Amino acid sequence: MKLTFYGVRGSYPISRPNNVRYGGNSTCLHFRLTSGAEFIFDGGSGIVKLGREMMDREFSQGNGKATVLVGHTHWDHILGYPFFLPFYVPGNDFRFISAGQTGVSIHEILSGQHHDLHFPVPFKDLAANIEYDEFSIGDSLAVDGMKLTTFQLNHPGLTVAYRLEGDSTSVVVITDTARIHAVRLGDNMGGLEPDSAFSRRYTDQLTALCANADVLVHDAHFFDHEIQDKEHWGHATGEDALILARNAGVKHLVLFHHAPEHNDTEVDQILQATRDLGRRDSLKITAATEGVTIDLGEAGP
């Protein structure tokens, strides 16, 4: 399995000289199995570049096929879909895998972006064949040789973590998640007030989801000093990510969802601080960078 990062920022895309090294596009990841099966995680602004690269392949001829995994539907994770060129080519096949939002389907959410107040092309005019499979969070699915295990994250609305298993390797993607011991944010999590028993169950289940993963991609939006009084924003720190990776026996932790306010040097600082905290651990720690591919191979990363 190969994992390539096309968007690594949270909240909104940016373009500044001091953010070039890690990149300024919002969330988009691409997975490819050795069989050739392709999976896209989220459609932030990073999906635009991915779409252009796909148009250099069979997708320009209407012979492309890919599965789109929806983490959640906040703006920074979906704003790139209307500009994804393979959607406009007849013959291409796309399958959205999503939990939607409470009472709202993924089809309704995506088509709403194409209302003429926001975008000039109606959603119904997209030429590719697009199908929608909705699941209940906690379900496991098998799609084109990939096993998908899902888990609800601590973030407003319905936000999904995925464990992807294929080619004898595993990757867990956890973006947009808050400290469960400080606040409960997700739908059906029982309200904002912290609950110690709920927190223990949630942490145990999340640790089990990540157990022995080859790669964990995890929200590290904040410095530790920044998160104070912002736990309800729905994000985490490098230390939060490290604690989970350590307890789950993860091999490679990738810090992700970089704050748009942070320049490259500040992302470096978060990375180095996390490495310092994990210096006695055996796991590898890196920061997600646009254009970088992790080739897990048969023996892991």
Instruction: Read off the pLDDT of residues 33-42 as tens digits, 9 standing for 90 and up.
Output: 999 999 999 9
The residue-averaged pLDDT of 48-70 equals 98
Confidence of residue 6 (pLDDT cuts 50, 70, 90): very high
- Reported as a pLDDT band with limits 50, 70 and 90, residue 167 is very high
For residue 247, report the phi and psi dihedrals to the nearest 5 degrees. -70, -25
Is pTM beyond 0.85? Reply is yes
Q: Span 55-61, mean pLDDT?
A: 98
CB atoms within 10 A of CB 250: 27
3 state DSSP class of 164:
strand
Overall average pLDDT of the 132-142 stretch: 97
pLDDT confidence of residue 125: 93
Rounded to an integer, what is the distance from CA 242 to the centroid of its chain?
Answer: 17
Please tell me the distance from the alpha carbon of residue 268 to that of residue 252, in angstroms, as a whole number.
17
Cα-based distances in Å from 262 to 13, 201, 297:
12, 33, 32
Output the pLDDT for position 134.
96
Tell the CATH superfamily of the 2-295 domain: Ribonuclease Z/Hydroxyacylglutathione hydrolase-like (3.60.15.10)
What is the domain partition of the chain in residue ranges? 2-295
d(CA 39, CA 67): 5
Q: Counting beta carbons within 10 angstroms of the beta carbon of residue 135, is it exposed (0 to 12), middle (13 to 18) or buried (19 or more)?
A: middle
DSSP lists the bridge partners of residue 295 as 2
- pLDDT tens by residue, 275-301: 999 999 999 999 999 999 999 985 455
Look over the chain and give the mean of its residue pLDDT values, rounded to a whole number. Answer: 97
